[in-house]
C-alpha cells in the first residue's frame, strides 16, 4: 500500500530532472499523476523518459504556467480526466541562467523569472486550491520547490534568488490564509541537485562543489522527491508554512572546510 493510493497529484515542470523524480516517486507510492512542462516537445520527452524508467500512467500536459489561459485549460483537463486533485507540487522554475549581473541584466528578463516562478506558481496554486475547496472530505496540500539561494545568494542570478525569497514569503502567507480551510502549504528548499547541468560540468568544479557541502555530496533528484513526498503526505499533517531545507548541510556552514582553519 502506498502513501498516495487514490490521490491525484499535479507536478509542474515534471518532465525532466528533479520534477521527473518527483513524478516517479508519487506514481510508485500510488498516486494518479498529471505533469506539465512548458511545451509539447518537452512533455513528450518527459513521457519517454518516464517510460524508460518503467513509470506508467502519467498524463503529460503542455502548459506554460505563466499563461493564464494555458493554466485554465490544464485544470479543465484534470477535471475532465480525474474529477479531483489532492496534491500540487510547484516545481517548475525559470532558472534565470545567463542573464548576466545586475549592471547589465535586461529588466524584462527579471520579469520573465518572476512571471513563471512567483506569479505562475501562485496562479497554479489558486486554481488547485479552488479545486481542493470543493472536496469537503479531503482538502489538498501544496508543496513549493524553493531554494537555499533564497537565504544565501549565488552570483549573477539576482532574479532567481529574488523569486525564491518571494516563494518563501508566499508559502507562509498562503499557509496562514488557507489553514482554516484545511489546506497545508509548505516548501522544500534544496541546495545543489545533480541534474543534467552537472553532466557538462568540469569535474574539478563538481569536486569543489562537493567539498563545499558538509555532507560532501549534492542531492540526487530522489533525495528531493523524498522530502516533497513527506510534505505532501499525512506524515507532515501538523506542518504548514514551513520551508524545509535539503542542502547537505550547506546552510549551516559559514565557510567550507578547506578555508575554515
Ligand X SMILES: NC(=O)c1ccc[n+]([C@@H]2O[C@H](COP(=O)([O-])OP(=O)(O)OC[C@H]3O[C@@H](n4cnc5c(N)ncnc54)[C@H](OP(=O)(O)O)[C@@H]3O)[C@@H](O)[C@H]2O)c1
> Catalytic positions, please?
160
Q: How far is the CB of 239 from ligand X (least distance, A)?
A: 19
In the 8-state DSSP scheme, what is residue 120? I
Q: Which of 13, 110, 168, 184 binds ligand X (CB under 6 A)?
A: 13
12 binds ligand X (CB under 6 A): yes
The stretch near ligand X (CB under 6 A) out of 33-41, 99-107, 175-183, 209-217 is 33-41
The stretch near ligand X (CB under 6 A) out of 13-21, 80-88, 125-133, 172-180 is 13-21
Contacts of residue 206, defined as CB under 8 A and 6 or more positions apart, other chains included, come to: 198
Number of residues binding to ligand X, judged by CB under 6 A: 29
Q: Which of 66, 168, 212, 245 binds ligand X (CB under 6 A)?
A: 66
Contacts of residue 242, defined as CB under 8 A and 6 or more positions apart, other chains included, come to: 171, 175, 186, 187, 231
In the 8-state DSSP scheme, what is residue 254? S
Burial class (CB in 10 A: 0-12, 13-18, 19+), 41: exposed
Site for ligand X in 127-146 (CB under 6 A): 145
192 binds ligand X (CB under 6 A): yes
Site for ligand X in 196-255 (CB under 6 A): none
Q: Between 168 and 240, whose beta carbon lies closer to ligand X?
A: 168
190 binds ligand X (CB under 6 A): yes
The CB-nearest residue to ligand X is 13
Q: How far is the CB of 213 from ligand X (least distance, A)?
A: 12
Q: How far is the CB of 154 from ligand X (least distance, A)?
A: 9
- Alpha carbon distance 40, 19 (integer Å): 16
For 205-214, give one letter per residue: b (16+ CB within 10 A) or e: eeeebeebbe
42 binds ligand X (CB under 6 A): yes
Instruction: Please check whether residue 229 is in contact with residue 29, taking contact to mean a CB–CB distance below 8 angstroms.
Output: yes
Rounded to the nearest 10 degrees, what angle do helices 68-81 and 121-133 cross at?
Answer: 30
Instruction: State whether residue 128 is helix, strand or coil.
Output: helix
Site for ligand X in 82-121 (CB under 6 A): 91-95, 116, 120
Q: Count other Cβ atoms within 10 Å, centred on residue 196.
A: 8
Helices (H), 53-189: 68-81, 107-114, 121-133, 158-178
Q: How far is the CB of 8 from ligand X (least distance, A)?
A: 19
The stretch near ligand X (CB under 6 A) out of 37-45, 51-59, 169-177, 237-245 is 37-45
Q: Which of 50, 61, 65, 232 binds ligand X (CB under 6 A)?
A: 65
Instruction: Please check whether residue 195 is in contact with residue 149, taking contact to mean a CB–CB distance below 8 angstroms.
Output: no
The residues of the shown chain that bind ligand X, judged by CB under 6 A, are 12-13, 15-19, 36-39, 42, 63-66, 91-95, 116, 120, 145, 147, 190, 192-193, 195
Amino acid at each position: 500500500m502506498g502513501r498516495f493510493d487514490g490521490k491525484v497529484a499535479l507536478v509542474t515542470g515534471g518532465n525532466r530532472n528533479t520534477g521527473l523524480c518527483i513524478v516517479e516517486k508519487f506514481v510508485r507510492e500510488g498516486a494518479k499523476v498529471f505533469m506539465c512542462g512548458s511545451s509539447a516537445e518537452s512533455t513528450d520527452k518527459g513521457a519517454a523518459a518516464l517510460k524508460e524508467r518503467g513509470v506508467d500512467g502519467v498524463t503529460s500536459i503542455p502548459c506554460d504556467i505563466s499563461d493564464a489561459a494555458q493554466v485554465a485549460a490544464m485544470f479543465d483537463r484534470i477535471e475532465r480526466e480525474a474529477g479531483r486533485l489532492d496534491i500540487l507540487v510547484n516545481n517548475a522554475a525559470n532558472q534565470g541562467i545567463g542573464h548576466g549581473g545586475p549592471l547589465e541584466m535586461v529588466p524584462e528578463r527579471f520579469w520573465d523569472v518572476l512571471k513563471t516562478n512567483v506569479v505562475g506558481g501562485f496562479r497554479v496554486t489558486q486554481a488547485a486550491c479552488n479545486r481542493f475547496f470543493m472536496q469537503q472530505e479531503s482538502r489538498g496540500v501544496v508543496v513549493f520547490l524553493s531554494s537555499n539561494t533564497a537565504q544565501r545568494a549565488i552570483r549573477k542570478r539576482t532574479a532567481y534568488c529574488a523569486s525564491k525569497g518571494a516563494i518563501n514569503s508566499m508559502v507562509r502567507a498562503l499557509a496562514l490564509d488557507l489553514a482554516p480551510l484545511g489546506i497545508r502549504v509548505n516548501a522544500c528548499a534544496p541546495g545543489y541537485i545533480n541534474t543534467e547541468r552537472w553532466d557538462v560540468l568540469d569535474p574539478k568544479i563538481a569536486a569543489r562543489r562537493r567539498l563545499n557541502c558538509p555532507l560532501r555530496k549534492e542531492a540526487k533528484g530522489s533525495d528531493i522527491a523524498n522530502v516533497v513526498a513527506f510534505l505532501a503526505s499525512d506524515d507532515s499533517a501538523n506542518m504548514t508554512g514551513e520551508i524545509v531545507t535539503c542542502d547537505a548541510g550547506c546552510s549551516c556552514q559559514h565557510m567550507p572546510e578547506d578555508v575554515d582553519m
